[in-house]
Amino acid sequence: MSPKISVWISNSVFISFIVISLFYSLVHFENSYLKSETQTLTTEKNRSFAIVQELSRVKNQFPIAYQCHYSFGLSNGSLFEITERIPYSIYKRLRLGDTIEVYKKEIRIFGKQTAISQIRGNEEPLPLLENLERYFLYGFIYLLVLAGVSLPIRVLGLLSRTYPSQQKPVETGETVVNKVQD
């Protein structure tokens, strides 16, 4: 591999490392914000009502899991829909069209106005950005290892470059004449 190619590859790895680091830090801070907001979600000032739209059982999962899809109004008058995982004890009490008590809170995530909510009495954890954060963490670690490997390659590539000599060629005093034969 020529030195130019190894330097080009290591530069690409470092740029990718910087980009994935920025994405990971953004997702990590948003997930931390979401965790802090969900801890303060179950206060009385966040209590509201919602209407059950759909009840379903999650297939191919053990233990058996259930979902409840419900909607509620936001402060700007729009309707917001949430799908939440619920235990069997709540699932067997609910019917389509029922009004249920929920805790809701309007927040901004990635600059977009949204809402988080939880059915009153539901102890299931809310789905946060943990999978996305884990994905970027693995990418961060992978590119950190690649950057660690490519750093010596880059240094060796820069050291092994051959540069034209800065010295002038030594003159021997001989004059070279083109010999032309007729």
User: Token digits for 169?
Assistant: 């060629």
Task: Look at residue 178 and tell me whether its pLDDT is greater than 70.
Answer: no
Helix 130-159 vs helix 3-39: crossing angle, to nearest 10: 160
**Do residues 71 and 80 lie in contact, with contact meaning Cβ atoms separated by under 8 Å?**
yes
Q: Looking at residue 95, which CATH number applies to its domain?
A: 2.40.50
Contacts 24+ apart (CB under 8 A), 143-150: 143/13, 143/16, 143/17, 143/20, 144/17, 146/13, 146/16, 146/17, 147/10, 147/13, 147/14, 147/17, 150/6, 150/9, 150/10, 150/13, 150/14
Regarding whether 19 and 84 lie in a shared domain, the answer is: no
Q: Whole domain around residue 155: which residue ranges?
A: 1-40+126-161
Regarding whether 104 and 52 lie in a shared domain, the answer is: yes
Q: Encode pLDDT of 85-127 as tens digits.
A: 888 888 899 899 989 999 999 888 888 888 889 898 888 877 7
Q: Would you say residue 167 lies in a domain?
A: no
Confidence of residue 70 (pLDDT cuts 50, 70, 90): very high
Regarding whether 19 and 82 lie in a shared domain, the answer is: no
Regarding whether 46 and 19 lie in a shared domain, the answer is: no
Regarding whether 109 and 95 lie in a shared domain, the answer is: yes
Confidence of residue 171 (pLDDT cuts 50, 70, 90): low
Q: Would you say residue 174 lies in a domain?
A: no
Average pLDDT, the chain: 81
- What is the pLDDT, as a whole number, of residue 22? 92
Regarding whether 33 and 50 lie in a shared domain, the answer is: no
Domains contained in the chain, number: 2
Regarding whether 97 and 63 lie in a shared domain, the answer is: yes
Regarding whether 47 and 34 lie in a shared domain, the answer is: no
Confidence of residue 7 (pLDDT cuts 50, 70, 90): low
Q: Would you say residue 131 lies in a domain?
A: yes
Regarding whether 59 and 113 lie in a shared domain, the answer is: yes
pTM: 0.65
Q: Would you say residue 172 lies in a domain?
A: no
Q: Would you say residue 168 lies in a domain?
A: no
